[in-house]
């Protein structure tokens, strides 16, 4: 009965907000709606053919799943095991295939296969549509349920039936589950540019708890190696923790700098760099973005662009700029609810708009496939992270070369008397 009590309180809170809304045409009574819900639950428990599916817990969980999922693609109810899995994700280690999922036009779609994971090594690509999981159609499967099916015991095989829109090819991928360890900062190095400016390169794959510290360590090493400018690659970065994205910005900006603000039905909130930040990283920066740069990567790109700290090269980002607040519930489950939208420092809306680059540069399907293939184990290019034909990285390097030349020219130009 405690689940019914929780549902009663939840409906009452939702209803109370509705009653306080000005110009409401009809009064939304929690008691009338709860009576309908309770009656429906009684009928199910009394008459439904399969009695094993009619426990109060199962019916309440089902109601909560439907309630939250009807709001938008990002709100969801997480049962205890799902909530625990989400908490494990943010700590950079979990069990599964290593793919980030989204929903496009009602189709379960891969936003990004994480590097060095079974899904990535199997050849899955951003934009691949998952039609079946182990032969079961995903047509009526929500993201949360799909993730549950993709995860399981280490060493077990999972078969995904994939439609690849770019080639109209439908193919089965058999992938073995593994423990997923996700280093968020990769490929930190000085690019080989035939004696020209020493340009550093760092790639952030996602934003989790240790990301800012990993980035700081990578930058410190590159600076000791004489780095004069930096390419920060956020392509295919699906996001992660908001606090981590803000801390990454703190590596390049003054203390207490506004990074992003949120607005919703609750009072707006600002997120700023730490007041104790002592960053002295003043070299030129180019941020690489593409269509799969989402959420946290859009916050970083939007802030560095708005504040004039970096030049953006590549493509307009994904446009996932809504805030999901996760509230734990008494039985170990949680409600993930969209509560606000992100705005860049100059008050630009990220959600469904994305962050546009200063310099647009795209990859062909063949170039993108080669880029991702070069990052798979055993298939690295001879001069990583520059596989054959990466026009986006080339444009970033050209822009930094020009900036460095301009700075050096200004430094040696004689002062007029």
pLDDT in tens, 86-106: 776 665 556 789 898 888 888
* SS3 state of residue 287: strand
* SS3 state of residue 285: strand
What was the pLDDT predicted at 295? Answer: 93
User: Comparing C-alpha atoms, which of 296, 322, 260 is closest to residue 73?
Assistant: 322
What was the pLDDT predicted at 4? Answer: 44
User: Is 295 a catalytic site residue?
Assistant: yes
User: Is 29 a catalytic site residue?
Assistant: no
Of 181, 210, 238, which one is at a domain's C-terminal end?
A: 181
Distance CA 370, CA 269 (A): 42
Q: Are residues 245 and 365 in the same domain?
A: yes
Q: Are residues 171 and 268 in the same domain?
A: no
DSSP result, 230-245: EEEE-TT---B-HHHH
The catalytic position among 233, 306, 322, 390 is 306
Question: Two tokens at 200?
Answer: 């550093």
Q: Are residues 214 and 350 in the same domain?
A: yes
In the chain, what are the helix, strand and coil shares in percent, each to the nearest 5? 35, 25, 40
- The CATH number that applies at residue 99 is 2.30.42.10
* Neighbour-count burial for 274-297, b at 16+ CB within 10 Å, e otherwise: eeebebeeebbbbbbbbbbbbbbb
Q: Are residues 149 and 222 in the same domain?
A: no
Distance CA 164, CA 125 (A): 8
CA dihedral 28, 32, 33, 35 (to 10 degrees): 170
* Model pTM score: 0.72
Among 90-99, 128-137, 403-412, which stretch is predicted with the lowest mean pLDDT? Answer: 90-99
What was the pLDDT predicted at 349? Answer: 95
What was the pLDDT predicted at 12? Answer: 45
The catalytic position among 15, 85, 295, 297 is 295
Residue 387 above 60 pLDDT? Answer: no
Q: Are residues 228 and 366 in the same domain?
A: yes
Supply the mean pLDDT for the chain: 86
Q: What is the mean pLDDT of residues 273-283?
A: 83
The catalytic position among 320, 322, 333, 390 is 320
User: Is 306 a catalytic site residue?
Assistant: yes
What was the pLDDT predicted at 31? Answer: 87
Structural domain including 6 reads: 1-12+29-61
Q: Are residues 148 and 46 in the same domain?
A: no
User: Comparing C-alpha atoms, which of 368, 318, 374, 391 is closest to residue 164?
Assistant: 368
Among 241-250, 272-281, 348-357, which stretch is predicted with the lowest mean pLDDT? Answer: 272-281
Distance CA 216, CA 37 (A): 53
> pLDDT confidence of 28, banded at 50, 70, 90?
confident
Q: What is the mean pLDDT of residues 251-256?
A: 94
């Amino acid at each position: 009965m405690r689940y019914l009590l929780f549902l009663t309180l939840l409906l009452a809170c939702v209803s109370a907000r509705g009653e306080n809304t000005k110009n409401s045409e009809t009064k939304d009574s929690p008691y009338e709606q709860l009576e309908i819900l309770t009656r429906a639950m009684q009928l199910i428990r009394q008459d439904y053919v399969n009695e094993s599916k009619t426990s109060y817990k199962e019916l309440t969980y089902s109601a909560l799943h439907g309630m939250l999922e009807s709001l938008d693609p990002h709100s969801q109810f997480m049962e205890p095991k799902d909530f625990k899995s989400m908490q494990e994700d943010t700590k950079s280690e979990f069990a599964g295939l290593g793919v980030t999922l989204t929903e496009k036009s009602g189709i379960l779609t891969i936003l990004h296969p994480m590097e060095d994971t079974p899904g990535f090594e199997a050849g899955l690509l951003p934009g691949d549509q998952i039609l079946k999981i182990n032969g079961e159609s995903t047509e009526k499967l929500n993201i949360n349920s799909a993730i549950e099916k993709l995860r399981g015991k280490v060493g077990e095989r999972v078969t995904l039936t994939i439609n690849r829109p770019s080639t109209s090819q439908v193919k089965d991928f058999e992938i073995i589950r593994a423990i997923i360890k996700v280093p968020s900062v990769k490929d930190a190095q000085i690019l080989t540019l035939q004696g020209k400016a020493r340009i550093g390169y760092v790639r952030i794959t996602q934003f989790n708890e240790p990301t800012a510290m990993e980035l700081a360590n990578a930058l410190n090493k590159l600076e000791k190696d004489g780095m004069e400018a930096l390419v920060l690659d956020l392509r295919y970065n699906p996001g992660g923790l908001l606090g981590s994205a803000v801390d990454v910005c703190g590596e390049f900006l003054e203390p207490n700098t506004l990074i992003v603000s949120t607005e919703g039905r609750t009072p707006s909130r600002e997120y700023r760099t730490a007041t104790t930040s002592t960053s002295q990283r003043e070299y030129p920066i180019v941020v690489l973005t593409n269509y799969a740069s989402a959420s946290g990567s859009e916050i970083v790109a939007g802030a560095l662009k708005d504040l004039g700290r970096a030049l953006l090269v590549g493509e307009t980002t994904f446009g996932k700029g809504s805030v999901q607040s996760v509230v734990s519930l008494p039985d170990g489950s949680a409600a993930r609810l969209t509560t606000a939208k992100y705005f860049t420092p100059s008050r630009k809306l990220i959600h469904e708009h994305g962050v546009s680059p200063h310099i647009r540069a795209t990859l062909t399907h063949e170039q993108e496939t080669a880029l991702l293939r070069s990052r798979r184990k055993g298939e690295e290019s001879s001069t990583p992270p520059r596989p054959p034909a990466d026009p986006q990285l080339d444009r970033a390097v050209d822009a930094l070369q020009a900036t460095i030349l301009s700075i050096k020219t200004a430094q040696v130009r004689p002062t007029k008397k």
